[in-house]
Chain A
Amino acid sequence: MTLAPERTSCTSDRSAPRVSLGSLDTLWFQVGGTLCNLACTHCFVSCSPTNHTHEMMSLAQILPFLEEGVSLGVKEYYFTGGEPFLNSEMEAILEKTLGFGPANVLTNGLLLDPDRCVRLRQIADASDYSLDFRVSMDGYDAQSNDPIRGEGTFVRILEGISNLVAAGLNPVITVTEVLSENGTVTGKERFFELLRELGIAKPRLKILPVFQIGAEAERGGTYEHWQRLRESDTPGGCWDHLQCSSCRMVTDQGVWVCPILVNEPSGKMGARLADTLDSFPLEHPACWTCHVYGVSCKT
């Protein structure tokens, strides 16, 4: 049920296929809310310094979900936002989480100063479980990156990456296909080259398509009417290749089906994880992107 007024990109579709939750492997936290020190032009959740659609989450808010995740056999925990390191409790949250399982943080890299990176390394070393980082950038030079992520960000992202590397933490660099060259072999090689120049012998790269929602809808346009999933799109109606068959996203306002649909009230499934173990209708056009491009937000 939704109270949404007429939507521009998502209409209720009774024929939409449904995806079952096979296992709850990946538990996401919108730990930075929709608050970010950047306002990237392609952000599918339109994060900005003043977007309070979702608020930051405290350790006290997160803890019950970590404990519930344990009872459901969660394999890994992911933290995103907004910018997670705007959250003053972020390091304490990571320390606590690493007592339960491996943790991953998706960051824009701007707040990764040398001291923080050293502390993060200490937190990583104190656990038997992995602590991993993803740093986002959208171009292999300032000219291509900065119009999307903001003036002067390219240099600051590289500083953040270098600080992580200096602390012995090798992040995955996340690049979207907002610039079509990014996902090509040549584009990837440019990123690998850039990272090797930073002293990373074995660079790690993840390429993601853009979702035509949020700020990106304004920049690049919304979905076409035909970009929707139908039961007949997979033989046997098997949707377990989609991340929503093995993940849930927790925000300060409840549990959503996946990390993509947090700005769609219809993506909310319940108040606690146990409320959200049922199937979900793949009616949003963003579901089409996940299916066609084989997207998984996890590393």
Chain B
Amino acid sequence: MNKSRNPKELRREGLTSSSSPGRLTGKLTTHRGMATWGERLVPIGEFRQAVKATGRQLDESRRRLATREFLKARPDTTTLEGPFNRIVVFGGIYNNHLALEALLEDAALRGAEAVYCLGDLGGFGPNPEKVWPLLENGEVRTIQGNYEESLSSDREDCNCGYTDPRDNHFAEISYGYTARNCSDGFKKWMGSLPARRRVRLGARELLLVHGSPRQINEFLFSSTSPDSFLEVLLDQEGCDGLLCTHTGLQWHRKLPSGRNVVNVGVIGRPANDGNPHVWYAFLEASAEDVAVKLVPLSYAHQRLAEEMRHEELPAVFVETILAGWWTTCLEILPARERRLSRF
């Protein structure tokens, strides 16, 4: 039954414009006990009655069932690698072949049995092709990042989609330079990389991804990844630990369940903390658990800066390598991480 007020009545009260009977006027400042139903006015009681009659109200046992069904595990047929006792995991090379060289030396010194790269090989730095042989010769087990996904499918940009035209300008330079200077063979190889890996480390099974287990380009920043969210993610994936990159900032958290989540950071550029060094993760099996260490890595950053200048890459990129502060594309940073930033 239509209990809406008569448009004539509403017009008398000045609640609607005469040209559109039954609709709100844009200048409305009083609703006089009326509810807004779409662009119409109805008595509040009518709106509430309709609301009450709409939607489900399950009993508690059905709610528990619905929740369990919603959170059920996602099947994963990824082959399990290992077992290992010591692994090195890193991400975001961003063409920084000098940091990659330093990392491989460090991994050997630490006795790592396997070295994993979580993707984003290109962008930002100089001479992308120098990275490929280092990965191949170093037997680095690599995962595809969003950069490799874009490059191997000949996308015209990195699809970052920044709102600030200045950020887009630099993102385009970065992507365009890498795309022009990567061989077809290297791009094809990028296209063949897996989206995820599962690794046995001691008694624990770890899931390695680029962004998140759900999306290649999801950002898992520390300040926007609540414990409860991560616990559900790990439950659904049936793993004892999660390793990711993509944000450029490293962090490690032991969840209330005892499982580890590690964003391994990137070796391509500093972590926006005013230091020129970069970061990777070293994981070692202990009796029943996994010991996680985030490791600062020094490399020949002055040499990289020279090479970037020689390649005529933007001065603001070189500044980041030397000073350790990000100068572009800060849009991705959540409020907390941004407050720690210089810019």
Contacts and interface: CB of A to CB of B under 8 A. Distances in A.
Please say whether chains A and B are actual partners in one complex.
yes
A130 B224 contact: yes
A53 B44 contact: yes
Interface stretch (B26-34, B122-130, B291-299): B26-34
A188 B162 CA distance: 12
Given A8-B22, A100-B226, A102-B224, A46 B28 contact: yes
A23 B214 contact: yes
Interface string A49-82: 1111100000000000000011111111000000
Contact of B38 (A76, A213, A268): A213
B226 A102 contact: yes
A277 B36 contact: no
Secondary structure at chain A's binding surface: helix, strand, loop or mixed? loop
Contact of A4 (B37, B330, B337, B338): B37
B50 A3 contact: yes
Nearest to B19: A218
B80 interface: no
Contacts of B224: 75-76, 101-102, 129-130
A76 B221 CA distance: 12
A264 B223 CA distance: 34
A1 B53 contact: yes
Interface string B211-229: 0001000000111111011
B24 interface: yes
A203 interface: yes
A272 B40 contact: no
Interface string A191-231: 01000000001111111000001110111001000000000
Most B CB contacts (10 A, CB to CB) among A2, A5, A76 go to A5
B55 A254 contact: yes
A253 to B, nearest CB: 5
A247 B334 CA distance: 19
Nearest to B330: A202
B232 interface: yes
Contacts of B35: 51-53, 263
Contacts of B165: 185, 188-189, 192
| Interface size, B (range) | 35 or more
A94 to B, nearest CB: 12
B272 to A, nearest CB: 12
Which 8 A/B pairs are nearest by Cβ-Cβ distance? A73-B232, A101-B226, A274-B63, A217-B39, A5-B2, A265-B50, A132-B335, A53-B35
Interface of B: 2-4, 17, 20, 22-33, 35-40, 42, 44, 46-51, 53-58, 63-64, 66-67, 69-71, 163-165, 214, 221-226, 228-229, 231-233, 330-331, 334-339, 343
19 contacts: A2-B53, A3-B49, A4-B37, A41-B26, A46-B24, A53-B47, A74-B229, A75-B225, A100-B228, A101-B228, A129-B224, A129-B336, A131-B336, A192-B164, A213-B38, A215-B39, A218-B39, A253-B51, A272-B58
Given A52-B31, A170-B335, A266-B54, 17 more contacts: A4-B37, A8-B23, A48-B30, A52-B33, A72-B70, A73-B232, A74-B226, A101-B226, A130-B221, A132-B335, A214-B38, A217-B38, A265-B47, A265-B54, A268-B51, A270-B57, A277-B67
